[in-house]
């Protein structure tokens, strides 16, 4: 009886957490649409591309510097006491300082390689924040572990609003990429203060060698796999910037941001599954069932929004952003296709992380990295922006490897419904190239979807959750 009650309690927390994150993503989407519309129109592709290139270098170093410690705090099977949190904060502060020094050295090389004027100084302005952002992971991990996504949602929304409230006026005043840098700094300070207050945690120096080794032994392999994946962000400035210039970097970056914002369900599932799957990690059967149920649901929620934007983008972008952003519509379907495939396999990677098969995920990410850089370097000089889109889509061939790792350690998920949903929306993304034929898959899906037992069970679960609320 207590086991059922505990399961219901976890399901209730997960659904509430997902609902709060869903609200955060929808509200954030609205803020982003308005903010990005104003910011990118004021900056133009070149200035926005300079900021995006610098942010790509920062992001690659930031995730590597986190050492996976935040995820260790979330997924630990035992509660972490105050002293343990301080040890984590001390490790993160040290790694942030090291990453800052490495980043400062790389920034000057980055300027020469990308051929984007002024990108090194912009990157340095972001890298200075690395130690503070690293330490803030401890408070964020506490909130995620408690599934307290209500506070997280409000803090992230307020910080996002701070970014645009500072950057847009400065951009209109003519400060170029530095307007976005100033807004970004305000956003990070807001996140640091907000999460520390919500978690009631202020870090202090502490050291316990045994606990530090435990954190690093888990965190290193996790951080390595995430860091390899994050290196994908450098393909845009390094390859696109070198051959096509800062304007093209800005277009690809904005297209990527649009895809990420529209595919908010994938982000929600990743964050919620990080905490929820950890609670069933002892049962391989339950992990496999979660993957099977989650795959088609993720594609079903993510796909329609991505497809809708693909259909309206050619007419909408010149009207809202100006003609200089019009090429975004040509690269967007490829990036959305890559994101849709990644959403389908998001729970695979999350489950592998939970059972501590971090290096397996790292291998998949490395294959994706090689594919992205290799195809982009070969195709972008001849095909331009579409070449980069093709390179992003080429990373899809790495996912059978992810399946093999899951099958080896947990069991074989069922892919029938997930493939039906994903393929229907994937073809529809290219409506502007293929015409009305591309929408036939969605029409068929709409006819058969209500008859699926999984769909009926999902509707029943949602009604029960709503009644319980």
Per-residue pLDDT of 25-38, as tens digits, reads 666 667 777 888 88
Q: Residue 273 pLDDT more than 60?
A: no
Whole-number average pLDDT of the chain: 82
Q: Residue 20 pLDDT more than 60?
A: no
The highest-confidence range among 259-273, 297-311, 393-407, by mean pLDDT, is 393-407
**How is residue 269 written in tokens?**
């599932």
**How is residue 57 written in tokens?**
């270098």
More confident residue, 297 or 76: 297
The highest-confidence range among 74-88, 216-230, 236-250, by mean pLDDT, is 236-250
Q: What pTM, to 2 d.p., does this model score?
A: 0.78
276-316 pLDDT, tens digit per residue, is 555 555 566 777 877 787 788 888 888 898 999 999 988 88
329-357 pLDDT, tens digit per residue, is 999 999 999 999 998 888 888 788 777 78
Q: For residue 12, give Cα distances in angstroms to 62, 351, 465.
A: 33, 20, 7
């Amino acid at each position: 009886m207590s086991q059922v009650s505990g399961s219901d309690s976890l399901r209730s927390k997960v659904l509430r957490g997902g609902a709060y994150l869903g609200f955060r993503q929808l509200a954030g989407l609205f803020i982003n649409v308005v903010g990005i519309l104003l910011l990118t129109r004021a900056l133009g592709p070149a200035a926005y591309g300079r900021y995006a290139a610098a942010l790509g270098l920062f992001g690659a170093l930031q995730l590597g510097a986190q050492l996976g410690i935040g995820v260790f705090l979330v997924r630990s099977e035992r509660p972490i006491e105050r002293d343990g949190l301080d040890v984590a904060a001390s490790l993160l502060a040290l790694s942030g300082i090291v990453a800052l020094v490495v980043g400062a050295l790389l920034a000057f090389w980055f300027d020469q390689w990308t051929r984007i004027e002024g990108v090194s100084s912009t990157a340095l302005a972001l890298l200075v924040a690395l130690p503070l952002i690293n330490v803030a992971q401890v408070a964020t991990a506490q909130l995620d572990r408690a599934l307290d996504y209500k506070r997280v949602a409000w803090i992230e929304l307020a910080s996002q609003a701070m970014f645009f409230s500072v950057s847009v006026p400065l951009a209109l005043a003519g400060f170029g990429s530095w307007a976005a840098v100033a807004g970004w700094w305000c956003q990070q300070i807001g996140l640091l203060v907000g999460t520390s207050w919500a978690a009631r945690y202020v870090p202090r120096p502490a050291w316990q060698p045994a606990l530090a080794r435990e954190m690093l032994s888990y965190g290193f392999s996790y951080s390595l796999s995430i860091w390899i994946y994050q290196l994908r962000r450098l393909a845009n400035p390094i390859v696109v910037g070198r051959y096509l210039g800062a304007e093209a970097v800005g277009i690809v970056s904005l297209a990527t941001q649009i895809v990420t914002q529209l595919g908010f369900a994938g982000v929600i599932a990743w964050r919620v599954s990080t905490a929820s799957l950890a609670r069933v990690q002892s049962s391989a059967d339950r992990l496999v069932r979660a993957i099977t149920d989650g795959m088609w649901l993720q594609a079903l929620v993510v796909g329609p929004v991505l497809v809708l934007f693909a259909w309206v983008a050619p007419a909408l972008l010149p009207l809202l952003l100006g003609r200089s952003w019009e090429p975004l519509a040509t690269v967007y379907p490829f990036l959305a296709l890559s994101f849709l495939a990644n959403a389908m396999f998001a729970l695979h990677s999350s489950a592998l992380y939970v059972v501590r098969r971090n290096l397996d995920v790292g291998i998949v990410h490395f294959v994706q990295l090689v594919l992205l850089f290799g195809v982009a370097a070969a195709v972008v000089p001849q095909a331009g922006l579409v070449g980069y889109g093709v390179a992003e889509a080429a990373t899809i061939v790495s996912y059978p490897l992810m399946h093999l790792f899951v099958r080896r350690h947990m069991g074989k998920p069922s892919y029938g419904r997930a493939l039906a949903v994903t393929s229907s929306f994937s073809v529809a993304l290219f409506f502007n190239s293929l015409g009305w034929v591309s929408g036939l898959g969605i029409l068929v899906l709409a006819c058969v979807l209500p008859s699926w037992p999984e769909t009926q069970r999902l509707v029943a679960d949602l009604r029960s959750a709503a009644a319980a609320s």
